[in-house]
């Protein structure tokens, strides 16, 4: 991996990106619903002008190159590749201590999740390992994951807590997320998930669930910096019914689908993406990166699953993983599309047509990733 770094103190830096066979702008700082989900705002023979980390212009090569600012800019020719907004992964469990590969083998052999949990596996296994891990070990593992996210074209990730399940451990996770934000180029959006599951020490008590809920409300939440009311997204959604679909379609809440989890578990019951889209719901896609049910950082693989298993078109999947993912994090005004004023978060793919991104499933086709106009990944 090659990385280019530039001091944040440098002002008046402009970068002209040309040679774009297809520029997927996804113009519009609002979430996509229904038929609009498949409108990518494609510009052929496109170009992007970046000024101080933000989009200054995006359009055809002729339009963008005609300005005097473009003539004086640093040049980057991507030689006929496809450029789209950096992926916004709106559901991950970034910080954990280890894989759960042993459980993966048990699931393949037919052991149920309940049986695994009764033996101390499942989420409680991750909780035990995280509580015992040092901050340095957790940070090292998370940094490696972030490097991998970047190499697949992701420029913003949401990161949940929820593998600590006591005040000290939950704060350890959230503190690490803050430290990681300061030490690498991706945007990390933190989510408190203290009620992920009832921890083992409370399960042994008759009223353990109630006691734990009380502790989350009265002790954990007051320890956080702030709590915002209102659901930004509802996630997973494999078991929703027609009433749920109607409710989501009539709301401003994103329906975030996580096909990587269903795939890894070998489930056949995926979320009803087509019904959600046709009803007018705001559909987003995310990896659900976690050690137990979706150990992937590859948004392109999620796009492939969305197309083959959820029956989404490649265009719908890309919009769901960019502008709608940004909306699910309430960041659609600054990321998720390529238009004037937004952060220059871009992914460049070694393909001739954007539909080839999900088409080549399991392949690594991301050639370059830029965050705020800086190259943070380039294929060797």
pLDDT of 243 above 70: yes
Q: What is the pLDDT of residues 42-64, one digit of tens each?
A: 999 999 999 999 999 999 999 99
pLDDT of 321 above 80: yes
Q: Name the 3-class secondary structure at 66.
A: coil
What is the Cβ-side half-sphere exposure of residue 180, based on CA atoms within 13 angstroms? 30
Q: Are strands 374-378 and 366-371 parallel, antiparallel or unpaired?
A: antiparallel
Residue with tokens 């004023």: 341
Question: What is the band of 73 on the pLDDT scale with cuts at 50, 70, 90?
Answer: very high
Q: What is the pLDDT of residues 222-233, one digit of tens each?
A: 545 322 345 788
Mean pLDDT lowest for which of 33-42, 195-204, 256-265, 282-291? 195-204
Q: Where are the beta strands (DSSP E) in the chain?
A: 14-24, 42-51, 54-60, 74-85, 87-89, 154-160, 187-191, 233-235, 254-257, 282-285, 346-349, 366-371, 374-378
Model pLDDT, residue 168: 87
Model pLDDT, residue 232: 85
Contact (Cβ atoms closer than 8 angstroms) between residue 303 and residue 318: yes
Model pLDDT, residue 225: 33
pLDDT of 322 above 60: yes
Model pLDDT, residue 229: 43
| Mean of per-residue pLDDT scores for the chain | 89
pLDDT of 269 above 80: yes
Distance CA(180)–CA(235), nearest Å, equals 25
Q: Per the structure block, which two tokens stand in for 83? A: 């450029």
Model pLDDT, residue 7: 43
Q: Per the structure block, which two tokens stand in for 173? A: 């996770």
pLDDT of 353 above 50: yes
Q: Per the structure block, which two tokens stand in for 358? A: 């999900």
Model pLDDT, residue 226: 28
Contact (Cβ atoms closer than 8 angstroms) between residue 316 and residue 338: no
Calculate helix-pair angle for 314-321, 299-308, nearest 10 degrees.
Answer: 140
C-alpha distances (whole Å) from 311 to each of 19, 299, 306, 316 are 32, 16, 6, 10
Which residues, listed in sequence order, are joined to residue 348 by a DSSP beta bridge? 83, 368
Question: What is the band of 210 on the pLDDT scale with cuts at 50, 70, 90?
Answer: confident
Q: Are strands 366-371 and 42-51 parallel, antiparallel or unpaired?
A: unpaired
Q: What is the pLDDT of residues 6-20, one digit of tens each?
A: 444 446 899 999 999
Model pLDDT, residue 198: 63
- Is residue 359 classed exposed, middle or buried when 0-12, 13-18 and 19+ CB atoms within 10 A define those classes? middle
Model pLDDT, residue 260: 97
Q: Per the structure block, which two tokens stand in for 163? A: 């593998």
Q: Name the 3-class secondary structure at 37.
A: helix
Distance CA(256)–CA(233), nearest Å, equals 6
What mean pLDDT is predicted for residues 263-285?
A: 96
**If you ran DSSP here, which 8-state letter would residue 287 be given?**
-
- The angle subtended at Cα 261 by Cα 192 and Cα 89, nearest 5°, is 55
Task: Write down all domains in the chain, each with its CATH number in brackets.
Answer: 14-85+336-378 (2.30.40.10), 89-328 (3.20.20.140)
Q: What is the pLDDT of residues 124-164, one digit of tens each?
A: 889 899 999 999 999 999 999 999 999 999 999 999 998 88
Calculate helix-pair angle for 123-132, 167-183, nearest 10 degrees.
Answer: 70
- What strands lie across the sheet with 187-191, from one edge to the other? 87-89, 154-160, 187-191
pLDDT of 275 above 90: yes
Report the predicted TM-score, pTM, of the whole model to 2 decimal places. Answer: 0.89
């Amino acid at each position: 991996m090659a990385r280019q770094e530039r001091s944040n103190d440098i002002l008046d830096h402009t970068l002209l990106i040309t040679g774009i066979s297809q520029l997927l702008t996804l113009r519009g700082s609002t979430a996509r619903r229904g038929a609009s989900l498949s409108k990518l705002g494609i510009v052929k023979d496109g170009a992007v002008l970046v000024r101080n980390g933000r989009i200054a212009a995006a359009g055809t090569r002729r339009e963008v190159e005609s300005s005097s600012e473009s003539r004086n800019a640093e040049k980057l020719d991507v030689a006929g590749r496809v450029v789209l907004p950096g992926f916004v992964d709106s559901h991950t469990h970034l910080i954990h201590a280890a894989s759960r590969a042993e459980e993966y083998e048990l699931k393949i052999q037919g052991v149920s999740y309940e049986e695994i949990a009764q033996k101390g596996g499942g989420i409680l296994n991750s909780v035990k390992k995280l509580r015992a891990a040092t901050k340095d070990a957790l940070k090292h593992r998370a940094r490696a994951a972030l490097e991998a996210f970047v190499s697949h074209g992701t420029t913003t990730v949401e990161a949940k807590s929820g593998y600590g399940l006591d005040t000290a451990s939950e704060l350890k996770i959230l503190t690490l997320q803050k430290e990681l934000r300061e030490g690498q180029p991706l945007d990390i959006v933190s989510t408190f998930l203290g009620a992920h599951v009832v921890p083992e020490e409370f399960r042994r008590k008759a009223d353990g669930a109630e006691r734990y809920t009380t502790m989350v409300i009265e002790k954990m939440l007051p320890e956080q910096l702030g709590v915002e009311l209102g659901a930004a997204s509802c996630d997973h959604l494999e078991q929703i019914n027609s009433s749920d679909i109607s409710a989501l379609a009539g709301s401003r809440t994103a329906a975030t689908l996580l096909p990587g989890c269903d795939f890894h578990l070998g489930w056949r019951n995926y979320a009803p993406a087509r019904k959600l889209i046709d009803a007018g719901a705001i559909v987003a896609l995310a990896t659900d990166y976690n050690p137990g049910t979706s150990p992937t950082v590859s948004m392109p693989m999620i796009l492939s699953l969305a197309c083959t298993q959820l029956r989404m078109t490649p265009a719908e999947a890309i919009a769901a993983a960019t502008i709608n993912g940004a909306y699910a994090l309430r960041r659609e005004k600054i990321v998720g599309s390529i238009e004037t004023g937004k952060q220059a978060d871009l992914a460049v793919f070694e393909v001739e047509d954007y539909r080839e991104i999900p088409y080549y499933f399991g392949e690594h086709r991301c050639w370059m990733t830029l965050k705020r106009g800086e190259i943070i990944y380039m294929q060797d």
